[in-house]
Amino acid sequence: MTTAIVNVSLKAGVLDSQGKAVHHALDSLNFKSVNDVRIGKQIILKLETDDKTKAMVEVEKMCEEILANTVIEDYEIELV
């Protein structure tokens, strides 16, 4: 069994309104050292294969087709 961890985040240059709201809240709570906040999502998949190459190909296809909106989002895959 293989676990795939997929981190999806907005591409640089895409407005992150959630991140801006969190940054504003942190600033108002006196956390002045925070320069920027970007909000993303993490998807954890349990795959019934031990073949890391096959798992990577399959998860990349999932990301391209449904897990990420590749027009505005980037993704990173980690297999563990």
pLDDT band at 68 (very low <50, low <70, confident <90, very high): very high
Domain-wise residue ranges, the chain: 2-79
Domain 2-79 has CATH 3.30.1280.10: yes
- Encode pLDDT of 5-21 as tens digits: 999 999 999 999 999 99
Per-residue pLDDT reduced to its tens digit, 46-58: 999 999 999 999 9
pTM of the predicted protein model: 0.89
Q: Are 74 and 9 in contact (CB under 8 A)?
A: yes
Distance (Å) of CA 52 to CA 4, 8, 31, 56: 10, 20, 41, 6
